[in-house]
Structures are given as C-alpha cells and as structure tokens.
Amino acid sequence: MSGFPQTGAPACRTDDSRAALTLCGAALVADASGALLWPAEGVLAVADLHLEKGSAFAARGRMLPPYDTRATLDRLAALIERETPARVLCLGDSFHDRRAAERMAPGDVERLRGLTAAVAEWVWITGNHDPEPPQGLGGRAVAECRLGPLVFRHEAQPGAVGELSGHLHPAAALVLAGRQRVRDRCFATDGAKLILPAFGSFTGGLNVLNPAISGLLAPRFEALLTTRGRIHRFPCERLSPDAGR
C-alpha cells in the first residue's frame, strides 16, 4: 500500500493507476502513464513527447543517453496496444526541434510510422518546438483540435474553458509524514481546463505552484500526481513549492 495520507479530497484509491475527472461534461480518465483518455470519443492524448531531445543536447556537447526516443515510443506503443484508441492526439512539442526526425534512428522512424498507421486518426498539434512537424511520418498537423465541448492545444490560454494543453510540463511536490518529500509529474486541473504532464522520457517538470502554471488556473485547483504507476489526487493547498521558492 502507498504511504500517501488521506487528504479529504475526492481521491482515487491509493492502488489505482487511473483517475476519473469531468471537463465541460466530458468524462475523462487520467492515466498514470501521463496520457489522457476520453473513452466516449476513443481519444488518447499525450503531450510533449520531445522526441530526439537527447541527440539535440548531444549536438551541443551535453551528453545524454541516446535512447529517449525509443523509450518514449515503447511507452506510447504499449498504451496504444492496451487502449486501442480511434484517435491519438499529440499536444505539441512532439519533436524536440525542426530537425529531430533527421536524427531519428531508422528503426525508430519505422516504429513511429507503424504507430500512426495503426490508428484511424493521428493528429500532431503544433508546438513551440515543432511548429512544422516532420513530413512522411503519418498523421496530420493542426494548430488545435476541437471535439465536442473540448479544445486540445499546446499552450493554455488564460480564461479558456474546456481546454486541454501541454507545454508547461507540470509536476507536483508534497511532504509526507516523516518529512519524506515526493515530487513527480502531474495533471493540473481546476475543472475548467486541464494541463497534461510531459510524456517524453527526458522531459522535466515545472512545479504547479509556479505562477506560470497556477496563474492559469482557478485559486483552488488540484494535482493528479503520477508516481510509481499510480495516481494520487491532491488539492493545491497540500502541495509544496520547490526548495528556495
């Protein structure tokens, strides 16, 4: 069992890998992988894959293991196989830069083409890192995607309702009993909008209490912390800032 205490919030059981939430009447499911599911529409959404981030850093002399793309695609492929979605929506910054596809290993290129071909609809939403997603990998590129009451885009807009976005790589931190500190990626929502965690293997996280994130949400928002294959839901007042903040 988890060491997380009960918070009084409408929380998931501590052994759950999913959490249900509602946005503008749409019944959604946050998965501990960092993906968002909309079962009624057959949607699987992920944000900020940042494929080939490792090779981009290596080109600038900062050596990282060159396996981030493969690891990210492995996780994404497992999700698609498990969920069999009709639509996959990638919420921007799927590629770390404009030349990411040129640096991808041939096997990873074929793997990605196979994934896009296996789904009825694959949508690349453009981001600040990939304003023009690579050609020849399948899928279609759009600035945003509207489905029913929801809009999927890369960057959250102040005052937007029914919005799902990425870009900010939200993470939540809190101190448990015994002063153990936990910090990991999270979903952040105030009931009107939802910010997804980064899905990519080499993507860090910005604390949700940072004004860049909290300033986009209502004062009483919540974080769905993804850690150790589970989701834990906490109100913002339970969260901790990062050291020195």
For the segment 27-35, the average pLDDT, to the nearest whole number, is 97
Give, in order, the Cα–Cα distances in Å from 100 to each of 131, 208, 234: 12, 28, 36
Any idea what DSSP says for residue 179?
G
Question: Which 3 state secondary structure label does DSSP give 214?
Answer: helix
Where is 87: in which H helix or E strand? strand 87-90
- 18-238 — its CATH code? 3.60.21
pLDDT at 187: 98
pLDDT at 189: 98
pTM above threshold 0.75: yes
Question: Which 3 state secondary structure label does DSSP give 113?
Answer: helix
Per the listing, tokens 């492995």 go with 74
- Reference 85, options 26, 36, 22; nearest CA is 36
pLDDT per residue as tens digits for the range 107-144: 999 999 999 999 999 999 999 988 988 889 999 999 99
Tell me the angle at which helices 106-117 and 68-83 cross, rounded to the nearest 10 degrees.
20
What are the tokens at 201?
A: 């293997």
Phi-psi sector, 43: left (phi>0), alpha (psi -120 to 50), beta: beta
| 25 contact partners, CB below 8 Å, separation of at least 6 | 149
Mean pLDDT value across the chain: 88
Task: Evaluate whether 47 touches 206 at the Cβ level (below 8 Å).
Answer: no
For the segment 214-238, the average pLDDT, to the nearest whole number, is 95
**% of the chain with per-residue pLDDT over 90:** 73
The single-letter code of the amino acid at 82 is R
What are the tokens at 156?
A: 């959250």
Span of 67-76, 95-104, 155-164 with lowest mean pLDDT: 95-104
Reported as a pLDDT band with limits 50, 70 and 90, residue 13 is: very low
pLDDT at 133: 86
pLDDT at 179: 73
Q: Which of the two residues, 211 and 62, has the higher pLDDT score?
A: 211
Judge residue 235's burial from the number of C-beta atoms within 10 Å of its C-beta, 0-12 exposed, 13-18 middle, 19 or more buried.
Answer: middle
Distance CA 11, CA 19 (A): 8
Distance CA 243, CA 239 (A): 13
pLDDT at 222: 97
pLDDT at 244: 62
What number of other Cβ atoms are within 10 A of residue 99's Cβ?
A: 14
Rg for the chain, CA atoms, rounded: 17
Judge residue 147's burial from the number of C-beta atoms within 10 Å of its C-beta, 0-12 exposed, 13-18 middle, 19 or more buried.
Answer: middle
Task: Evaluate whether 90 touches 123 at the Cβ level (below 8 Å).
Answer: yes
